[in-house]
Amino acid sequence: MGETGATIDELSKITHLERHTLSKYLNRLRAEGRISYKRIGRAKVWFVSKTPLQHILRLREEEQTYTEKIFSRILADIPEGVLVLDFDYNIMFINRYLLALYGDCVGQKYYQVIFGTDIGISKNFEAHKEQIKRIIEGSLEEAESQVEDKEGRILEIKARKVKNPDGSSSIIAIIRDISEKVRREERIKNLSELHRLLGEAVNRSYTIDQLCSTILENLCDVIGYDMGDILIYNHENNTLCSAAQVGYPRMEEQKRRDTIEEWKRGIARAAIIGKEPIFFVKGEKKGDGLSYNNYAFELAAEYNLQEICAIPLRTKGEPHGALLILARRGRVLTEEDRSLLGGISEGIAGGIAKIKVEEELRVKANAVEISNNSILMADTKGKLTYVNPAFLKMWGYERENEVLGRFCTEFWRQMEGTGAEDVLMAVQEKGDWEGELIGV
């Protein structure tokens, strides 16, 4: 039949068979997928089928046999890509799944269709190419790989060699787009890493400023951004102040610096009050009445920003501040980046709350330490666990280890002459005791 095809009359002259008999043979061969036809006017022009699977799917349903209908529906609706290529890397067949991704590419070269003309730059491409080569050579039965296509999709490809009915061989590949799965796994991995780094930062930090600086550095390593701030909320006077910032260019003029800080506080305040993250992208239309819009526009113009992200830092419903992430033109925060920031925000707030408590305790401890009054702490049994310098001075001791672990009742007696143990009983039962003691 050749490339141009042949009508039944032309075939009848060559084979010396009657039209009726020849028609039966042709339809039988067509049912086996060996030949196909095209209608030109009222005539059928027959061709040798080089891509029988693709031919079946291209037939109108009324032209398909019962078996072809079942087969084509299975291939068309399967939620994975099915691809067949010959040993010259020509695509012989693709199903609907791949048709939606790459268009009608039958007859084209596999690597150019899937990976583009700049082949060799995709992740894991060379390893995948070597696997296909080894399958063709027969040194590998089947192979599985993850590789990035020309559009940046992550594909899972399972390929193996199959024998055709005519004795030739092809390669059949099952292809799935697993980009979402990979992104999800990467997000979980990054979130776990951020939580690990956050835990280390909380344990190693002595002050809130130190903690916030470490957090911003860790976030930059995982996400990548241009500038960032953590602003701390003061509950007593209802104010915000910057605890740490990274990436900002040096600015000499104090008045200008104050103005920029006010813009950032305005954006952070809007996120805290709204209890939701704010994502401002330059060029995207949002409501003009939003309280932070003017601040965001001014800040974006000042630093040539493409995106501003403000995440409220809350734990157990209590606000502790806000995280500001700024990205310049040419850099965008992906949905995964935004999700990571939201996922780590409560952990950051918890870390800030912990350091706040520790700072308050240190202040109180320092106040106790320098107090002129004699102060002691004891466990429920009355054994001393802490004494301040004034206590040691009053009783004439030089080092606290000389008194720690001893019963506090060794150091006083009550005025009325009753047992000093009554003080402990009163504290344990009522929570406090007040009175006069005589030192011994």
Q: Answer with the one of 341, 365, 389 that is the final residue of a domain.
A: 365
Give percent of the chain above pLDDT 70: 90
Residue 261 confidence class, pLDDT cut points 50, 70, 90 = very high
User: Is 17 inside a domain boundary?
Assistant: yes
Residue 139 has which token pair?
Answer: 């040194």
Q: Do 354 and 377 share a domain, yes or no?
A: no
Q: Do 118 and 227 share a domain, yes or no?
A: no
Domain of residue 333, residue span:
183-365
**What pLDDT score was predicted for residue 57?**
59
Residue 277: is it exposed, middle or buried by C-beta count within 10 angstroms (0-12/13-18/19+)?
A: middle
Q: Do 156 and 287 share a domain, yes or no?
A: no
The 8-class DSSP code of residue 108 comes to S
Label the pairing between strands 154-163 and 169-177. antiparallel
Place of tokens 């239309």: 285
User: Is 257 inside a domain boundary?
Assistant: yes
- CATH at residue 100: 3.30.450.20
Residue 340 has which token pair?
Answer: 């990571």
DSSP assignment string, 147-201: EE-TTS-EEEEEEEEEE-TTS-EEEEEEEEE-HHHHHHHHHHHHHHHHHHHHHHH
User: Is 10 inside a domain boundary?
Assistant: yes
Provide the number of structural domains found in the chain: 4
Q: Do 361 and 387 share a domain, yes or no?
A: no
Q: Do 229 and 353 share a domain, yes or no?
A: yes
Residue 258 has which token pair?
Answer: 């104050």
Q: Do 77 and 156 share a domain, yes or no?
A: yes
Mean pLDDT of 11-20: 83
Q: Answer with the one of 345, 365, 385 that is the final residue of a domain.
A: 365
What digits encode the pLDDT tens for the residues 212-255?
999 999 888 888 889 999 999 988 888 999 999 999 998 888 99
Residue 145 confidence class, pLDDT cut points 50, 70, 90 = very high
Residue 195 confidence class, pLDDT cut points 50, 70, 90 = confident
What digits encode the pLDDT tens for the residues 277-300?
999 988 777 665 577 889 999 999
User: pTM here?
Assistant: 0.57
Q: Do 158 and 77 share a domain, yes or no?
A: yes
Name residues whose C-beta falls within 8 Å of residue 98's C-beta, 6 or more positions apart in sequence.
81, 82, 83, 175
- Strand ranges, E, within 248-317: 278-281, 305-315
User: Is 143 inside a domain boundary?
Assistant: yes
- CATH at residue 316: 3.30.450.40
User: Is 56 inside a domain boundary?
Assistant: no
User: Is 414 inside a domain boundary?
Assistant: yes
Residue 341 CB coordination number (10 Å): 22
User: Is 266 inside a domain boundary?
Assistant: yes
Q: Do 300 and 408 share a domain, yes or no?
A: no
What digits encode the pLDDT tens for the residues 382-428?
888 888 888 888 888 888 888 898 888 788 765 555 555 677 777 77
Q: Answer with the one of 339, 365, 391 that is the final residue of a domain.
A: 365
Name residues whose C-beta falls within 8 Å of residue 265's C-beta, 6 or more positions apart in sequence.
231, 240
**3 state SS of 17:** coil
User: Is 270 inside a domain boundary?
Assistant: yes
Residue 262 confidence class, pLDDT cut points 50, 70, 90 = very high
Asked if residue 58 lies in contact with residue 24, where contact means CB atoms within 8 angstroms, the answer is no
Q: Do 413 and 356 share a domain, yes or no?
A: no
Q: Do 360 and 375 share a domain, yes or no?
A: no
**What pLDDT score was predicted for residue 104?**
87
Q: Do 246 and 172 share a domain, yes or no?
A: no
Residue 120 confidence class, pLDDT cut points 50, 70, 90 = low
- CATH at residue 41: 1.10.10.10
Give the amino acid at 43. A
**What pLDDT score was predicted for residue 77?**
77
Dihedral through CA 255, CA 260, CA 261, CA 266, nearest 10?
130
Q: Do 204 and 335 share a domain, yes or no?
A: yes
